[in-house]
Chain A
């Protein structure tokens, strides 16, 4: 069961919108090593995890990743506030805008939509934890 908490984990306060940056940051939302992938990875791997410590960790980290997802969504949202036409037309944000306007869509910076094909759940603790290290290491 999940209960929504109406607050961010850490404040997101972006005074100056920057659509060009939003077009990059979106990858941390729905890209191969983004927060959506992280939360689904951990929350799905926990069912076959044979140790209490790791079941607990995967549950707690997977839940926290959902909080990160919300913060990244807030970042993209605030980076694309009150845009003027020129800011959209003449920036790297234009290809994103044509499909999603200023909606926050889970996709990689390269444009492809979020796919679970970029994560793995093997039902084997060593394989799954190694996959977690690779995914987490990739964004360090």
Chain B
């Protein structure tokens, strides 16, 4: 997750001008009653860190771009050391599922704190439907995704490759 934190500085409910702050920090022997007294520099203002809320109805990437960027929301896209993943995944039943599941996950996290955003809710539901359909195609071709999913034929759960193997990701 990316957290865009910013620091707000205030002192006992009043904002301290930068000039005053510098003066007090440079001359710690000078007491400043407006900011309390003690053995710390006379002015040791409280810092209140906070994380800004994500706004309602934020811009979104389309699902495929979201998967490779690691977030569905451009506003939260803060590439580590400026390194952007531009690799596009080939379109296969598996990457379709990965794409949809990631978009659903991202929308779920957003909806957890914005449950009244009907547009996001609608998109979340439509991706759920596509995921459901996609997982049936996938299961037929590649085997069951989990034990709860209704299947037929032989017990295919143990079929190779397992997800962590190179072979499972070769063409994906």
Q: What is the CB-to-nearest-CB distance from B87 to chain A, in angstroms, rounded to a whole number?
A: 9
Query: Which residues of A from 67 to 88 have beta carbons under 8 Å from B?
Result: 70, 73-74, 77-78, 81
Contact assessment for B145 and A74 in the assembled complex, using a CB-CB cutoff below 8 Å: no
Question: A73 with B5: in contact, given A5-B146, A6-B144 (CB under 8 Å)?
Answer: no
| A56 interface residue per 8 A CB criterion | yes
Contact assessment for A77 and B109 in the assembled complex, using a CB-CB cutoff below 8 Å: no
Identity of the chain B residue whose Cβ is nearest the Cβ of A67 in the assembled complex = B105
Q: What is the CB-to-nearest-CB distance from B5 to chain A, in angstroms, rounded to a whole number?
A: 7
Query: Which residues of A from 37 to 74 have beta carbons under 8 Å from B?
Result: 53, 56-57, 60-61, 64, 70, 73-74
Contact assessment for A6 and B169 in the assembled complex, using a CB-CB cutoff below 8 Å: no
Q: Total contacts A to B, CB within 8 angstroms?
A: 83
| A7 interface residue per 8 A CB criterion | yes
Partner of A11 from the list B2, B98, B101 (CB cut-off 8 Å) is B98
Chain A residues packing against B (C-beta within 8 Å): 3-15, 53, 56-57, 60-61, 64, 70, 73-74, 77-78, 81, 133, 136-137, 140
Given contacts A78-B166, A133-B3, A137-B5, 7 further A-B contacts (CB under 8 A): A3-B147, A12-B169, A53-B112, A77-B164, A78-B164, A78-B165, A133-B51
